Amino acid sequence: MQGETRSSTQSDRSVLALVLALWALWLPGLLGAGFLMDDRELIFDNPLVAGDLPWTEAFARDYFHHAGDAGAWRPLASLSLRLDHALFGSEPLGYHITNGLLHLGVLLALGLLLAPRVPSRLALAGGLACFGLHPALGDSVFWISGRTSQLSCLAPLWAAVLLDRGRLTPLGAALVAGLGLGVGLSGKEDALVLAPLLFALAPAGRRARLSVAGALALAGGLVFCARWRALGGPFISASTPAMPGADFLERAELGGLATWEALRLAWAPFDFPPQYTAALLVERARPLTAGVAAALGWLLWSALWLPLGVCLALKRRAPLPAWAAAAVAFSWLPVAQIVPLGEVFAARFLYLPLLAAAPLSALAIARLTDTRLRAAVVALLIAALFGGLQVRAKIYDSRGAWRQEQLRHDPGDGASWNNLGLWFEELNELPRARDAWRQGTAVAPRYSKNWSNLGRVALAAGEIERAREAWQRALLEGPQNPVAHVNLAGLLLREGHTGRALELYERAVSLAPGLAPAWLGLALARQSAGQTLGAEAAVNRALDLDPSNPGARLLLAELWRTP
């Protein structure tokens, strides 16, 4: 027994050394990364993350509640950002180190699970590298808000490691499995696909398996009840889908195109856009037509199930590669547009499928019987992945670099022009910011945020009529954009058009119930209309959402002084 323990400890140490060596290759990119995409909005504009609200509010609200609900319940992600904010403030390095450590934890758990099942340390290194160093995972590791991928995997995988050690009682196994799944689901809903792994690793015996199955069902049920309570519904679906109005067949074609692109990226993760539109997926599928590429995507996805299906049909014990191939296919389901998603496709969707594919890569390398050939293959593989990762890391230097890369692939992306303008504004380069927003309105006039920002800078320059025109256009193009309503309402209220301002503020709070500035504006409009009680209710709601809002505190004090 002591010999087994010593051997296990030595094996764990060798896996740890291997994983640390691979993970260290992320450090050059992590040390140079900045705030990207919506990082600033999710961190610094979020009163929950800033610590102005009780931490328990993370379990009672949408992940994006402060800006507009998106159908995402991710309390663990919110609380991890809150902890980072308390520790690191406005310095991005600490946040990125946290992301890196989360990825390290996932990679180490995967290594410990694979080590007893892969006959060669070289093959294990190659398999782990195919997941851990894959350039397509840049968003998941370099993008601070992308940590939800790691958070959904970390606890379930470590629960799997404990179950795999085979030292737990039935009750202990049930507690570990249920807790692992529940914590993972609170990071991101994708953790659900790891439930079969936890059940498969349950201790032998009917009682133990029933206990683990019951714990998994209970954990899933509790999480979905909590989600229901917070969001008003238990089912996973984006409140603002990327393809609004698309029926199931249209989403199925889109899912097939995304599957085709995902398979391509898995093998050749070079020169791809950070985000995809439906048009980009179609363009990148050429010379194939959209229908043919979608059909091939689903056909190849179906083929991943074939080895396991044959084994089950013949009542034979399925080998690890058959289970791993099926796991790759199963892990793709959450992002295959079966339910409407807020994004068409992004490379970070590959986090779970690539993780599931690691055993396939490792066992394929292990089949190389010549040790020198195996070593050469693994060395070349790691060198290629590291090179691709360093090239990819450059787009994560700043929000501007990320958006410029997106515009290189999609010059008509209005969101990227908008964010590029915001980045220039952060650098105090207002003329370049204005030019970016103008370019955004030229190439994507239906994207309303560029109009909103043009109106904002026009008002700051005292150009009232130009601001009015821009905000009216923003409202016309973005009837679901709450900020467009708030901007125009504020101008109308200052000009004495209280009735119309009230209408716009009411609409804004209905679109984004968590937007504190909209409630504050509504309070001001109600005060102007002589609705003192209504104004007090609105300002109290603003303070509930953002207790540190100075404007709301001043208005509340003024209302209390009103006879």
Q: Output the CA–CA distances (angstroms, integers) from residue 473 to 445, 495, 498, 512, in the order listed.
A: 9, 19, 20, 20
pLDDT digits (tens, 9 = 90+) for 474-508: 999 989 899 999 999 999 999 999 999 999 999 99
Residue 433 in this model has a pLDDT that exceeds 50: yes
Share of the chain above pLDDT 90, in %: 68
Instruction: Specify whether the backbone of 258 is left (phi greater than 0), alpha (psi in -120 to 50) or beta.
Output: alpha
- Helical axes 206-231 vs 170-187, angle rounded to 10°: 30
CA 248 to chain CA centroid, Å, is 23
Residue 10 in this model has a pLDDT that exceeds 80: no
Tell me what pLDDT residue 473 has.
Answer: 95
- Tell me what the pLDDT averaged over the chain comes to: 90
**Mean per-residue pLDDT for 548-552?**
79
What distance in Å separates the CA atoms of residue 358 and residue 125, rounded to the nearest whole number?
10
pLDDT digits (tens, 9 = 90+) for 199-238: 999 998 899 999 999 999 999 999 999 999 988 876 666 6
Q: Output the CA–CA distances (angstroms, integers) from residue 372 to 130, 157, 365, 378, 411, in the order listed.
A: 19, 32, 12, 10, 47
CB 335 within 8 A of CB 349: yes
Residue 3 in this model has a pLDDT that exceeds 50: no
CATH class, range 399-561: mainly alpha
CB 69 within 8 A of CB 62: yes
Q: Which residue has the higher pLDDT, 549 or 543?
A: 543
Instruction: Specify whether the backbone of 71 is left (phi greater than 0), alpha (psi in -120 to 50) or beta.
Output: left
What distance in Å separates the CA atoms of residue 553 and residue 549, rounded to the nearest whole number?
7
The confidence band for 38, taking pLDDT boundaries of 50, 70 and 90, is confident
pLDDT digits (tens, 9 = 90+) for 346-388: 999 999 999 999 999 999 999 998 999 999 999 999 999 999 9
**Mean per-residue pLDDT for 62-86?**
88
What distance in Å separates the CA atoms of residue 127 and residue 386, rounded to the nearest whole number?
14
Of the candidates 14, 201, 3, 196, which has an alpha carbon nearest to the alpha carbon of residue 115?
14
CB 62 within 8 A of CB 230: yes
What distance in Å separates the CA atoms of residue 517 and residue 182, rounded to the nearest whole number?
34
**Mean per-residue pLDDT for 235-242?**
66
Q: Which residue has the higher pLDDT, 563 or 411?
A: 411
Tell me what pLDDT residue 464 has.
Answer: 93
Q: Which residue has the higher pLDDT, 318 or 9?
A: 318
**Mean per-residue pLDDT for 6-22?**
84
Residue 322 in this model has a pLDDT that exceeds 60: yes
**Mean per-residue pLDDT for 514-530?**
89
| Token pair in block for residue 1 | 């027994």
Give this prediction's pTM: 0.90
- Helical axes 371-393 vs 121-132, angle rounded to 10°: 20
Tell me what pLDDT residue 246 has.
Answer: 78
3-state helix, strand, coil split of the chain in percent (to 5) is: 75, 0, 25
Alpha-helix runs per DSSP H in 410-478:
414-426, 430-443, 448-460, 464-477
Cβ count near 313 (within 10 Å): 8
